Amino acid sequence: MSAHLQAALAANPTLHPSLRSWLACANEPGCDFPIQNLPFGVFAPADGAPRVGVAIGNLVLDLAALQAAGLLSVPGLEAGVFAQASLNAFIGLGPQVWRALRSQLSALLAQDTPTLRDDAALRAQALHAQNAVRMLLPVEIPGYTDFYSSKEHATNVGCMFRDPKNALLPNWLEIPIGYNGRASSVVVSGTPIHRPMGQIKGPTMERPVLAPCGKLDFELETGFIIGRATALGDAVPLARAEEHIFGMVLLNDWSARDIQAWEYVPLGPFNAKTFGTTISPWVVTMEALEPFRVMQPQQEPQPLAYLHDGAAHGFDIALEVDLQPGYGAGHTICRTNFKHMYWSMAQQLTHHTVSGCNLKVGDLMGSGTISGPDKDAFGSLLELTWNGANPLRWGQGDGVIERKFLEDGDTLIMRGWCDAGAFRIGFGECSGQVLPVK
C-alpha cells in the first residue's frame, strides 16, 4: 500500500483498513461491498415496495426499515426519505447528510456494535440477500450527458476514420467534448437491450436503407450522479466541482456503429445512441473513492484557466469487460483503468456549466469510452477488432468463438473496483444481454 493511500484511509475512520463488520460476508477477500464501501441503491424485495438500500457483503441493508425502527438519527434526515423508488430525495438533502449517514451506518455494522447484530427480529426485516431482491434504476435521471474524454479512444477512432497523423481534432485538446443523450432510455443492469433499427448507408450504396444494426458495440464507461443542483446562469468553478457529485456508477453506452457512421455528421450521434444506456445499480460515493485519487495524465497544451487548477482529479479504478456468448465459453475482452482518462469528472462538470447550463439532482454524466494504452485495454469492440478487421477469437476446436461486433444472445458484463490491499471498493456488475430487433 502506498504512503498516500495509507494516509488517506487512516484519515477517515469509515475507510480504515482494520475496520470489520459483524457480517462475515462483508469481510471476505475480494468482496465488492465491504464495510468501507457502503454504496447506495434502490431495490424491491419480493414482498414489498421499492425502497433505498445499502450494499454490504452479499446483502442489502434496508434503510427504510432502519429508519422506521428509529436507528437513524442523522440531523436533517427527513421522514420517509428511504421509502421511495429513487435516491433523489435523499441525495437532495446534501453532502453533510450523506457523510453523517454513512458514518452512522458504518458504526451500526461494525463488529463490536450489538444494536442490530443482536436483534434477530430486526435483522430479519432489514437484511435481504442481493440475489433475492430486484434492483431498480437508482436515480430518476432528469438529464444525461455523455463525454468523449479518453485520449487513447479518441486517437484510435481518429486513426481509423481520419488521418492518423491528425487523429485528434483541434478542439479535443482544449475542451471536454460531449453531447446531450437520451435520459429516458437509461436502464439498470440486467435489463435486456434490443438490437436497434436505423438508417444504414454502405460505402457503395447510392441511398441508405432501413435495417437492423449490423455493428452493435459496447462502450466501457463510468458515470457520475449530480448531487447538488445549480441555478440557470450559474457556473461551477473547478475547485468546487466535486462538491456537486454524489457518486459514481459503471456505464455501458451501447453504440450502433453503422447507424452512427451515416447520421453523426453534422450534429453527432442520434439513433445510434438513443436505444439504450445501461448503468450499474449501486452508486459508490465520492467519500469511499477519495483515497484512490490520483493525478490525471499530463494535459498539453495546458487547459484554459477555468479548466486548470493542478489538483489531482483522477481516480485509480480498475475496469474489465467480459463477453458471454449465447453459446460457448465467456471471455474477458478488456482490462483498463479509469486513471487513463485525459479529461476528469471535475473538468467535465465545470465545462458543462461554464455556459450557465443548470444542474439537477440525479443528472447523469458519462465519462466517454475508457481506453488505455495497450490493445487489450481498448474499451469498445470498434477498437478491439479495429472496426471488424481483426476479429476477437477464443476457445479451442469446435468451441472457438469469434466476434467482430455483438451478436444476438451475447451478454456484456462490466466490473470495476479500487484496490486498497486489505479490502476493495467495488461497483458490482453492469450487464445487459443483446436481444433481436423488437
Q: Note the Cα 173 to chain centre separation in Å.
A: 24
Instruction: Using the Cα atoms of residue 92, residue 94, residue 97 and residue 103 in order, give the sign of their dihedral.
Output: positive
| Catalytic one of 128, 153, 340, 351 | 153
Return the number of other C-beta atoms located less than 10 Å from residue 184's C-beta.
Answer: 9
**Cβ–Cβ under 8 Å, residues 401 and 393:** yes
Q: How many residues does the chain have?
A: 438
Partnered with residue 412 across adjacent β-strands are: 323, 432
Amino acid letter, residue 91: I
Whole-angstrom CA distances from 150 to 173, 178, 299, 368 are: 11, 12, 12, 7
The rounded distance, in Å, linking the Cα atoms of 27 and 29 is 7
Adjacent-strand bridge partners of 225? 247, 364
Using only the alpha carbons of the chain, give its radius of gyration.
22
Cell of 240: 468546487
Cell of 351: 465545462
3-state secondary structure of 113: coil
Spatial separation of the C-alpha atoms in residues 408 and 422, rounded to whole Å: 40
Task: Give the β-pairing of 144-147 and 51-56.
Answer: unpaired
Q: How many CB atoms lie within 10 A of CB 147?
A: 23
d(CA 135, CA 8): 32
- Helix (H) / strand (E) containing 384: helix 381-384
If we measure between CA atoms, which residue out of 118, 126, 132, 140 comes closest to residue 54? 126
C-alpha cell at position 386: 479495429
Q: Is 352 a catalytic residue?
A: no
Query: For 224-261, what is the HEC assignment?
Result: EEECCCCCCCCCCCHHHHHHHEEEEEEEECCEEHHHHH
Nearest 10 degrees: Cα torsion 298, 303, 307, 310: 40
C-alpha cell at 155: 486517437
Query: Looking only at Cα atoms, what is the longest distance across the chain?
Result: 73
Alpha-carbon distance 46 to 80, whole Å?
20
Which residues are the active-site residues? 153
